[in-house]
């Protein structure tokens, strides 16, 4: 009975804190359960997708329960943003890491002794390993209530950002008895999840695993044709918005960033080969909205998390669906619509094989991952469903309203088996000695010098697909590869050959019953694209000009205070303001995402702009 009452009381404290400090009235899925686990003194493992609201899961309980919450976070730049946001919302918080000056460290240490903070952000190196002892002694005197381990997959070798120091975090319980441990991550296969629980030594943890689907992301896939044109199209769709463009190699990153800049879209490169100063400078320029587009290598980019990234383009395929999920997931963290475009070609998978080979990582596991990525790219069906099911979720929605397939941008071939057999027999007729460009020429009836000099213009397969474009035929070939009907040789000639399955289909047309092939529907005349459901809804009733005006004021405020703009307000909050057009401080306070502190601090400034903005 007493427990039930206590639970009800603390639960309503959470509601109050959420409204007062963050200006939110509802919990996202599993947030309340995650918070209650902490309040009950339990350990927990929380898996929520990017943008699912993991930070609040430990921040709100830290405000509500007595004692200090320690947050372990692997990235110094993100730590600073989180602390700035908390302080801006009126929550006493601090960070302690190698970026602090001696004087700052002294100040934070004094604050800790006085019990001034609700949350303390630290890097793992602070807590474990050499030189951490003094710091732990300080923490021993601080009444630490729990430790939240953010990006907990870093503890696992099976995850994508292994950090050895994470391995030692379990020892903290010896130094700080009575604390509970909370782990948070966005990516966790069952194997990584088990690893996190074991390595952190979680005691009977509350395990909360949310769905992986991100309904606000619009997924598109395009076979690479004219890459620059394809990239310019996306950038034009997102004028003035933030985007990340991923390339496979550093060289491509540099070239693309320079080229985009000359085309009138300022873009900065970001990869591990840059010097520390340039890299963090470019990252900072992106986070602070001095530049909107960043070009990065796929292997890199954990620090370039800005909450209002509206598009993520992969100019080449990543090496696994896990990587794709992680990288494309940097779009739309604020819950608003965002576009994730994968532009791929068979050459990408070849490049990865070469790279894995030279790193000694070309094993069956990685080959299978690569293959699955290729299958995703070439698949003809709902992308949300594909990704959700890949990660073990059931996807029950009928039509996501946010992928190229569901938006009817793909045109499934009415006779895929016939089409496949035409292409396969062409590959056979040219003696399995040519690549896709040549095969496409023959099929399209293009009497190039190459084709004529080999006499391939006299083949029965010459001109079988006269209407198809080169890109279209290459797209089909790619899809046939993914269905394991065709293969390309691993050398630089990328010669197309038939697989046993491909040979079987040539002999017996019923041998591949679930085959589906599709081409891109030609773009509409006005070159616009369909918008996703979330896109339409989130702009409903929003005065766009006012939204832009509010963005400008946010940027101005952010520059004055030397913080990134999203630390002031998220885009979602600005849109809400531009929708509701509050005309009093009370009305301003009622806007989702405006807490009490923010309303006092910034209300007048934003209200003035709203009033001055003519209807």
Interface region with Zn ion, contact rule CB under 5 A, candidates 405-413, 484-492, 507-515, 520-528? 405-413
Residue 26 in the binding site for ligand ADP (CB under 6 A): yes
Residue 77 in the binding site for ligand ADP (CB under 6 A): no
Residue 571 in the binding site for ligand ADP (CB under 6 A): no
Distances (CA, A) of 82 to 471, 564, 577, 604: 45, 11, 23, 24
Residues of this chain, 458-477, that bind Zn ion according to CB under 5 A:
none
Give whichever of 192 and 534 is closer to Zn ion, judged by the CB atom: 534
Distances (CA, A) of 606 to 274, 289, 596, 602, 614: 39, 19, 14, 6, 14
The rounded distance, in Å, linking the Cα atoms of 495 and 559 is: 55
The rounded distance, in Å, linking the Cα atoms of 584 and 194 is: 51
Residue 337 in the binding site for ligand ADP (CB under 6 A): no
The rounded distance, in Å, linking the Cα atoms of 489 and 492 is: 8
Give whichever of 48 and 68 is closer to ligand ADP, judged by the CB atom: 48
Taking CB under 6 A as the criterion, the residue among 307, 379, 461, 538 binding ligand ADP is 307
Q: How far is the CB of 413 from Zn ion (least distance, A)?
A: 19
Name every residue whose Cβ is closer than 8 Å to that of residue 383 and which is 6 or more positions away in sequence: 219, 220, 221, 376, 400, 403, 404, 405
Q: How far is the CB of 85 from ligand ADP (least distance, A)?
A: 8
Give whichever of 50 and 230 is closer to ligand ADP, judged by the CB atom: 50
Residue 51 in the binding site for ligand ADP (CB under 6 A): yes
The binding track of 215-254 with respect to Zn ion, each residue x by CB under 5 A or -, is ----------------------------------------
Give whichever of 20 and 28 is closer to ligand ADP, judged by the CB atom: 28
Best CA proximity match to 104, nearest among 95, 113, 93: 95
Question: From the list ligand ADP, Zn ion, none, which binds 400 (C-beta under 5 to 8 Å, kind-based)?
Answer: Zn ion
Residue 52 in the binding site for ligand ADP (CB under 6 A): yes
Best CA proximity match to 270, nearest among 262, 258, 260, 282: 282
Residue 406 in the binding site for Zn ion (CB under 5 A): yes
Name every residue whose Cβ is closer than 8 Å to that of residue 601 and which is 6 or more positions away in sequence: 88
Question: From the list ligand ADP, Zn ion, none, which binds 382 (C-beta under 5 to 8 Å, kind-based)?
Answer: Zn ion
The rounded distance, in Å, linking the Cα atoms of 161 and 305 is: 15
Where b means 16+ CB within 10 Å and e means fewer, 45-70 reads bbbbbbbbbbbbbbbbbbbbbeebbb
> Which residues make beta-bridge pairs with 207?
45
Within a 10 A sphere around the Cβ of 614, how many other Cβ atoms? 6
Question: From the list ligand ADP, Zn ion, none, which binds 237 (C-beta under 5 to 8 Å, kind-based)?
Answer: none
Residue 216 in the binding site for ligand ADP (CB under 6 A): no
Residue 89 in the binding site for ligand ADP (CB under 6 A): no
Taking CB under 5 A as the criterion, the residue among 45, 86, 128, 382 binding Zn ion is 382
Helix (H, G, I), strand (E, B) or coil at 472: helix
Taking CB under 6 A as the criterion, the residue among 14, 34, 38, 48 binding ligand ADP is 48
The rounded distance, in Å, linking the Cα atoms of 184 and 34 is: 10
**For residue 45, what are its two tokens?**
């493992």
Question: From the list ligand ADP, Zn ion, none, which binds 53 (C-beta under 5 to 8 Å, kind-based)?
Answer: ligand ADP
Taking CB under 6 A as the criterion, the residue among 10, 55, 450, 469 binding ligand ADP is 55
Binding residues for ligand ADP, how many (CB under 6 A)?
Answer: 18
How does DSSP classify residue 403?
B
Residue 68 in the binding site for Zn ion (CB under 5 A): no
Residue 598 in the binding site for ligand ADP (CB under 6 A): no
Residue 403 in the binding site for Zn ion (CB under 5 A): yes
Count of residues making up the chain? 615
Instruction: Name the one residue in this structure whose structure tokens are 């209530």.
Output: 145
Give whichever of 335 and 564 is closer to ligand ADP, judged by the CB atom: 335
Angle ∠(605,608,609) on CA atoms, nearest 5: 90
Residue 24 in the binding site for ligand ADP (CB under 6 A): yes
Q: How far is the CB of 590 from ligand ADP (least distance, A)?
A: 14
Q: How far is the CB of 47 from ligand ADP (least distance, A)?
A: 10
The rounded distance, in Å, linking the Cα atoms of 502 and 351 is: 24
Question: Which strands, in side-by-side order, build the sheet including 93-96?
Answer: 93-96, 119-122, 68-72, 144-149, 180-185, 44-47, 206-209
Residues that bind Zn ion (CB under 5 A): 382, 384, 400, 403, 406
Residues that bind ligand ADP (CB under 6 A): 24, 26-28, 31, 48, 50-56, 307, 333-335, 570
């Amino acid at each position: 009975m007493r427990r039930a009452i206590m639970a009800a009381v603390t639960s309503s404290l959470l509601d109050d804190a959420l409204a007062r400090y963050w200006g939110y009235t509802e919990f996202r899925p599993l947030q309340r359960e995650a918070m209650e686990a902490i309040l009950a003194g339990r350990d927990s493992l929380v898996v929520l997708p990017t943008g699912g609201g993991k930070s609040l899961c430990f921040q709100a309980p830290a405000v509500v329960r007595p004692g200090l919450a320690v947050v372990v976070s692997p990235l110094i730049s993100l730590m600073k943003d989180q602390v700035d946001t908390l302080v801006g919302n009126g929550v006493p918080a601090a960070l302690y890491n190698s970026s602090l000056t001696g004087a700052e460290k002294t100040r934070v240490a004094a604050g800790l002794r006085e019990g001034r903070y609700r949350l303390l952000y630290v890097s793992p190196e602070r807590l474990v390993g050499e030189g951490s002892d003094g710091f732990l002694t300080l923490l021993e005197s601080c009444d630490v209530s729990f430790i939240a381990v953010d990006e907990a997959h870093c503890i696992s070798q099976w995850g994508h950002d292994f950090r050895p120091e994470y391995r030692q975090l379990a020892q903290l319980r010896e130094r700080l008895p009575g604390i509970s441990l909370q782990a948070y991550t966005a990516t966790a296969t069952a194997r990584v999840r088990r690893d996190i629980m074991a390595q952190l030594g979680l005691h009977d943890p509350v395990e909360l695993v949310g769905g992986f689907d991100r309904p606000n992301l619009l997924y598109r896939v395009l076979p690479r044709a004219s890459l620059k044109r394809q990239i310019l199209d996306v950038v034009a769709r997102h004028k003035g918005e933030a985007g990340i463009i991923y390339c496979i190699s550093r060289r491509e990153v540099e070239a693309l960033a320079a080229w985009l800049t000359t085309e009138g879209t300022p873009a900065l490169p970001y990869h591990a080969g840059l010097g520390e100063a340039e890299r963090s400078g470019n990252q900072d320029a992106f986070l602070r909205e001095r530049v909107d587009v960043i070009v990065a290598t796929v292997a890199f980019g954990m620090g370039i998390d800005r909450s209002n990234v509206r598009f993520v383009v992969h100019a080449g395929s990543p090496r696994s669906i896990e990587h794709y999920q992680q990288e494309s997931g940097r779009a739309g963290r604020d819950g608003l619509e965002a576009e994730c475009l994968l532009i791929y070609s068979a050459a990408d998978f070849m490049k990865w094989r070469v790279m894995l080979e030279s790193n000694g990582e070309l094993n069956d596991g990685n080959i299978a991952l690569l293959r699955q990525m290729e299958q995703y790219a070439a698949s003809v069906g709902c992308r949300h469903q594909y990704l959700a099911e890949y990660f073990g979720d059931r996807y029950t929605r009928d039509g996501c309203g946010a992928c190229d397939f569901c938006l009817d941008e793909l045109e499934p071939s009415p006779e895929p088996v016939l089409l496949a057999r035409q292409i396969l027999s062409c590959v056979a007729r040219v003696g399995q000695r040519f690549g896709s460009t040549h095969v496409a020429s023959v099929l399209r009836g293009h009497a190039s010098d190459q084709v004529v000099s080999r006499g391939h213009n006299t083949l029965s397969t010459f001109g079988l697909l006269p209407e198809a474009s080169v890109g279209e035929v290459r797209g089909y070939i790619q899809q046939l590869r993914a269905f394991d009907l065709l293969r390309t040789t691993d050398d630089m000639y990328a010669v197309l050959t038939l697989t046993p399955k491909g040979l079987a289909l040539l002999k017996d047309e019923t041998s591949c019953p679930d085959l589906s092939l599709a081409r891109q529907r030609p773009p509409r005349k006005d070159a616009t694209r369909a918008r996703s459901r979330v896109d339409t809804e989130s702009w409903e009733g929003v005065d766009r000009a006012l939204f832009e005006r509010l963005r400008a004021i946010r940027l101005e405020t952010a520059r004055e205070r030397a913080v990134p703009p999203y630390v002031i307000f998220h885009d979602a909050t600005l849109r809400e303001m531009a929708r509701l057009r509050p005309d009093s401080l009370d009305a301003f306070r009622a806007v989702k995402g405006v807490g009490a502190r923010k309303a006092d601090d910034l209300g007048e400034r934003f209200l003035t702009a709203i009033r001055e903005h003519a209807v």
